[in-house]
Chains A and B, each alone.
Chain A
Amino acid sequence: MPKVSMTVNGKAVSGEVEGRTLLVEFLRESLRLTGTHVGCDTSQCGACVVHVNGESVKSCTTFAAACEGAEVTTIEGMANADGSLGTIQQAFQDNHGLQCGFCTPGMVMSAADLLKQNPDPSEAEIREWLEGNLCRCTGYHNIVRSIKAAAAANA
């Protein structure tokens, strides 16, 4: 089997993968980073969103082998160095932006990319950006609130 090497949450990692191995499988099964979730098989729920070279991607539709040499960040890499919650994570907790938590890693990773591109998004912009992330629990109301709060905290 071919070998793949990449940096995940700042650590150099490598492993053997099949050509068909998805990035999410490599993260969850080889690296045991189970914070990245799988909620669908048609690339539509966003539970699997991670950052590859600074951009949010769906790790369920990315081959692990294609990430050779890439910088990958997962939800496990989003807390502050001292272990405290990052701004977006804290905003989700403060604003009750999660219930069962299954969509949350993907939501936080998507939100991080949004705020990087657009530090002060409107409600409509947030809702539009989240179009690729499904949540069945929150009705999105408090997710939108959380992202607004994170934007305000960053300002």
Chain B
Amino acid sequence: MPKDTGIGAAVPRTEDRRFTTGKGRYTDDFTVVGLHHAVFVRSPHAHARVTGIDKSAAEAAPGVVAVYDGKQLVGDGVGNLICGWAVSSKDGTPMKMGAWSALATDTVRYVGDAVAVVIAETKAQARDAAEMVEVEYEELPVVVDATDALKPGAPQIHPEAEGNLIYDWEIGDAAATDGAIANAAKVVEIELVNNRLAPNAMEPRAAMAVYDAGTDHLTLHTTSQNPHVARLVLSAFYQIAPEHKLRVIAPDVGGGFGSKIYIYPEEIVCLWAARKAGVPVKWTADRTEAFITDAHGRDHVSKAQLAFDSNNRITGLKVNTVANLGAYMSLFSSCVPTYLYATLLSGQYVIPNIYCDVKAVYTNTVPVDAYRGAGRPEACYLIERLMEKAAKELGVDPGELRRQNFITQFPYQTPVIMTYDIGDFSQTLDAARAAADVAGFAQRKAASEAKGRKRGLGYSCYIEACGIAPSAAVGSLGAGVGLWESAEVRVNPVGSIEVLTGSHSHGQGHETTFAQVVSDRFDLPMDNIKIVHGDTDSVQFGMGTYGSRSGAVGMSAIVKALDKVEAKVKKIAAHVLEASEADIVIEGGAVKVQGTDKQMAWHEVGLAAYTAHNLPEGMEPGLKEGAFYDPTNFTFPAGCYICEVEVDPDTGVVTVENFTAADDFGQVINPLIVEGQVHGGIAQGIGQAMLEHAVYDESGQPLSGSYMDYTMPRADDLPSFKVSTHETFCPGNPLGIKGCGEAGAIGSPPALVNAVLDALSGMGVKHLDMPLTPRRVWEAINAAN
């Protein structure tokens, strides 16, 4: 039985007290004496040469202390923004990275590209003065669509990338896959768009930079998912300050979903300006700025062929993808449509031959990078749309076609790098079918028909890769960093415990789940345990939180450190109690000699370690251990999602009637939190499938720059969800965790689209691209009739 605060217990979150009482502390909540405010002057053009900047009126405006431009920034030696993952083209040439200065010097490449910054005493003054900065532009031709950007004669965006092609990458065996397709009994073809999304964490990005001239030291509060990586990149590449003279604090962060992994121009400029102007500087994005500057997600166009033999077994998959990376290469943009995408194209299926070709392209749009799922939603959408289409064309049950092709033997080496360690795909399929009452669908469909509505049911059997990742493996694939995680466990002299983790919580509940792991190990109450994160001055170097890695990687580091603490505790107790180490057990807040009444209270061991009056010969005083955990493999969460929709054929309105998720996340530490992660992911996935679309017009103007025109999922757009977990423990890490943060967003879009297409199959509608807005659905129905 799980202890009431141990592993597996549904412990309400300890962090909620501050969040429910308004005592959370997000970046914009911080202030310092003498704080000034930064407002950016941004390009209104998607592509233009900057021919002149007249700052004089702004400089003379009330409250303004400085107006800076890109030439000053570059002149001060601030380095260009970089992409930290080197991906090469199939011909071996390195990716073509165009220069990206935090303030544009001579060319702007998307609407929102910053050209100058105003620093003033109040935000209102800075805003007023920013409007007085006169920038002269000479407009250049614009391209926003990635396919168009590849066409001969398209506007050239960066001199470094001829024809706007960043790389033309491939994976798998082209000849074998072509052979499989040529010899197939049936080939299913698809062409689809994975729509561009704006991440929309509810807390807008913000940065507050404070320079202490006395110690030549900078402190940055910022909305980051990975403060140490931010400090490293700001130091090593942008030359802001050496690491020991730069403290980065990511306090409470209001959601990230990938968009707060990257180090953006605004943080760089605030730090640089705080030193240059000699005043503390804060910038907080408004929502419009978020829409035009936060890295977007997805934006793929793909063509694919799936080959079957005469027994409906898959023999090959060939994919061609064009990925829009926007105007500049964001920090991890290059790996998203390659190593995080094409390596998952085997899905849950035995596919002997896979080949995928990916062209990454510059356009005059905001940079595109990882957004919840990052590459894996695009892979899942492609393969699960194909499977559904195949089932329809082959005239077989979509669930059974999947089951027939499931991988059942583990470990399983796919043709696209990944080795799946464990899973049970039939188990989650069966669980989802039972929970979704697939058996009763025909009856519900008849009831809908009677009302003049169309009802459909769609499956998605997703797999994804989390726990990124073995450092040597990702290094060999071009990653500029290692992807381990760190932890330090400090037992204080009075027995309370602080865990310093390199992971960062921005909604995931680490302060609760990480403490549960400690509580479980030492049988201690939760309020004896504190989780410390998000401050480079308090915590040892760590890699941060993204890719559902904090459980599988971050907690594994904590477990390693706990192992070391436990070993030392046992040694001390054995010495003091004059017993054998092997007989020492830790339970009920005490360290005991098994089978006797000899024991020390937990805090007495702590005290013994620090007084050091009676320690084993040669033992160092103190009770504090650190660990770095480098993963042995990716982890592979998988599951089955079933969506049931009703469509009104007269209006094209889609209503999600039921949404069922059956997931295998490996060991679950806190079911309350895991379910919450799935709910949130599904909502984002349904958002992508039905509502959300970041759109640019042909001149590069963003048409979805506020909540007036970008449709976020609201409470009345969604049903309650039926979620459940079905574990196979991951063999690769000590707690058997796979990760749960992204699954919902990965698995849900194809389930919804498949359901709508199922509903409309009798009306001749064969294809729809997301988002399935009423208009798109209505137009498709009318076009088919």
Interface of B is mostly: loop
Q: Cβ of A42: which chain B residues have Cβ within 8 Å of it?
A: 287, 706-708
Q: Are A140 and B25 touching (Cβ within 8 A)?
A: no
Binds B, one of A51-59, A61-69, A75-83: A75-83
CB-CB < 8 A to B17: which residues of A?
85, 93
Contact assessment for B254 and A100 in the assembled complex, using a CB-CB cutoff below 8 Å: yes
Does A16 interact with chain B (Cβ within 8 Å)?
no
B240 at interface, CB cutoff 8 A? no
CB pair B716–A104 under 8 Å, yes or no, is: no
Chain B residues positioned under 8 Å from A105 (CB to CB): 22
Q: Contacts A41-B288, A94-B12, A127-B715; is A100 near B682 (CB within 8 Å)? A: no
- For window 22-78 of A, CB contacts with B under 8 Å fall at 28, 32-42, 44-45, 47, 74-76, 78
Tell yes or no: B204 within 8 A of A by CB.
yes
B19 interface contact, C-beta 8 A: yes
- Cα(A93)–Cα(B203), bound, Å: 20
- Provide a sorted-by-A list of 29 A–B residue pairs whose CB atoms are within 8 angstroms: A18-B124, A28-B29, A37-B26, A38-B28, A38-B204, A41-B288, A44-B706, A44-B708, A75-B20, A78-B21, A78-B22, A85-B20, A93-B20, A94-B12, A96-B13, A96-B672, A100-B201, A100-B253, A100-B255, A104-B24, A127-B716, A130-B714, A133-B715, A136-B255, A136-B684, A139-B684, A139-B713, A140-B713, A140-B718
Contact call B706/A40, Cβ cutoff below 8 A: yes
Does B151 lie at the interface of the complex (its beta carbon under 8 Å from any beta carbon of A)?
no
Chain B residue nearest to A123 (CB atoms) is B720
Q: How far apart are the CA atoms of A47 and B509 in the complex, in Å?
A: 20
Give A35 to B683 CA distance when docked, in angstroms.
25
Cβ of A8 under 8 Å from chain B: no
Min CB gap B516→A, angstroms: 14
Q: Are A85 and B13 in contact (CB under 8 A)?
A: no
Q: For B715, give its contact among A41, A96, A140 (CB under 8 Å).
A: A140
Given A42-B706, A136-B202, A139-B679, 8 further pairs, Cβ under 8 A: A75-B22, A85-B20, A100-B202, A101-B18, A101-B252, A103-B254, A130-B714, A137-B255
Write the nearest CB–CB distance from A93 to chain B, whole angstroms. 4
> How near does chain A come to B40, taking the closest CB pair, in angstroms?
15
* B674 to A, closest residue via Cβ: A96
In the complex, the chain A residue whose C-beta lies closest to that of B505 is A100
Are A39 and B708 touching (Cβ within 8 A)?
no
Whether A144 and B20, one on each chain, are in contact in the complex, defined by CB atoms closer than 8 angstroms, is no
Interface size class of B (residues with CB under 8 A): 35 or more
Q: Judge whether A101 and B507 touch: CB under 8 Å.
A: yes
- Report, nearest first, the 7 A-B pairs whose CB atoms are least far apart: A35-B22, A101-B19, A102-B254, A139-B683, A100-B507, A75-B22, A99-B507
Consensus secondary structure, chain A interface? loop
Contacts of B712 in A (CB 8 A): 134, 136
CA distance A90 to B20 in the complex (A): 8
A20 touches B (CB below 8 Å): yes
A98 within 8 A of B: yes
Interchain CA distance A96-B201 in the complex, whole Å: 18
User: Are B202 and A138 closer than 8 Å at their CB atoms?
Assistant: no
Q: Is B163 an interface residue (CB 8 A)?
A: no
Chain B, Cβ-Cβ closest to A94: B12
